Every structure is written in structure tokens, then in C-alpha cells.
Amino acid sequence: MLLHGTNSDGQSGFGHLVDRFTDRRTVITPDYAGAGQSTIPDGPLSLDVLVSQVAAVIDDAGGGPVDLLGTSLGAVVSAATAAAHPEMIRRLILVAGWVSSDDARHRLVFETWKRLQALDPELSTRFGLSLALSPDFLAGLGPGQVGQLTARRFPAATDRRIDLGLRIDISGLLPKITAPTLVIGLSRDQLVPPYHARALHAAISGSRYEEIDSGHAVQVERPDELIRLARAFFHEQG
């Protein structure tokens, strides 16, 4: 199972990578809480809602255990799911996740993103892309490619998932994770810098840590490296 981040859905986040796993696995890329075809309850979005949606998908697929990979907010949801439903998770990969939203830099970035999303979604998109892609990668794109990215329509309720990103604290859940865990930080990540991933690694007993030389959108910038690490970890025995 592959879990997307705040401003994507299963298809836009992982659709181009699914066939990199299907030689050996059945791959599930669910949409949660307003993304894709997923429903979203009224009121502020909670992490518990996303965890319950992910658990329901796993149950519907046969109950697991599954190998679970999440990126960004998807990494937070994946960690919380593994803590709440350890019987459902065989192996866990957390990419560019974070433990708590109390960090001053995190709050500055996400509060700015939230205000831009409310005032001008196009500016919000441009702001998000400027942080999601590393400077070198973004500078190497042509005007047409940048135009395509900025014209992309993001899923409904993105504003509510951004707001949830300001209310995360999974520090009490991380000691409950029992699945073998690989934490991946992204060295050029300006949205969720790698010190957040290192904190996740430090808080999960027995976890491993790897770092990819990429911006936040690693599925776009360094997909081969992400797939290599994920396949090696998921296919380990024991």
C-alpha cells in the first residue's frame, strides 16, 4: 500500500510507479479524506479519520498484513496506522514524515501555505512547488514544464489536509510501532527538511535510516532511488 501526501491522491502520487512493484506484489494506492473519490467528514480533519480510512481499506483487501509506504502526510498517517493496528502492517517505510508540528519553521511554512490556499489557490500551488522541488531540479525545468505543474488541479479539501499538517503530534504513538521500519529523509527537502525524518528514526526503536539526495517530491525527482530502497526493504525475509 502506497499513501500519498497533502496535495495529491493515489494516482497523481504513485500512478507512474505502481508497475515498478507489480511483478511481485498487488499494489493499493488509496485516496483518503477528500482526495480522489474519497469522502471527507464535516469539520476539522483529524488524523484518526485518516487512520480509520486506511485500516478500512486494508481490511477490505483481506486484512493484511501489508507492506506500507507513505510520503509526507502519508508517512504520518502510515506511522499512526502502524501504531494503532500493528497486526495489519508487515513492513513500514516512512518518507519525509514528521513527529510534531510544533517546530517554528514547520509552522511558518504550513501557516503561509494555508493562508495562500484560502486567498489564492494558484499562488498556493506556486508556493508549494517552490518548496516541493529542489532548487536544482526546478531550475532545470523548461517554462512549459513549469506551466504544466502550476496549472495542475489539486484534490478537493487540500486546505483541510494542510490544516491537519499544523496539528500533528505522533510522539506518543511512535513507541507502539512494532513493524520493521525504514525511515527515508530527503536531503534537499525544503518543505519537510530531513531533520524531521531523523527525529522519526530516533523515536522508532530498531528503525533504519536512509537519505536520498532529493527535494520533497522524490517520486518526481529520484523515483529510481526510492523504488530501489523500497523493493530491497519490502523483499527482505524475517
Residues with a known catalytic role: 72, 189, 216
Q: Judging by beta carbons within 10 Å of its beta carbon (0-12, 13-18, 19+), is residue 108 exposed, middle or buried? A: exposed
Contacts with 3 (C-beta within 8 Å, 6 or more apart), sequence order: 30, 32, 54, 68, 69, 70, 71, 74, 75, 77, 78
Q: Are residues 168 and 98 in contact, defined by beta-carbon separation less than 8 angstroms?
A: yes
d(CA 74, CA 61): 19
Beta bridge partners of 94: 70, 183
* Pairwise CA distance, residues 174 & 196, whole Å: 14
Cα 70 to Cα 40, 83, 126, 146: the distances in Å are 20, 14, 24, 26
* Bridge partners, 67 (sequence order): 91
Neighbours of 127 (CB within 10 A): 17
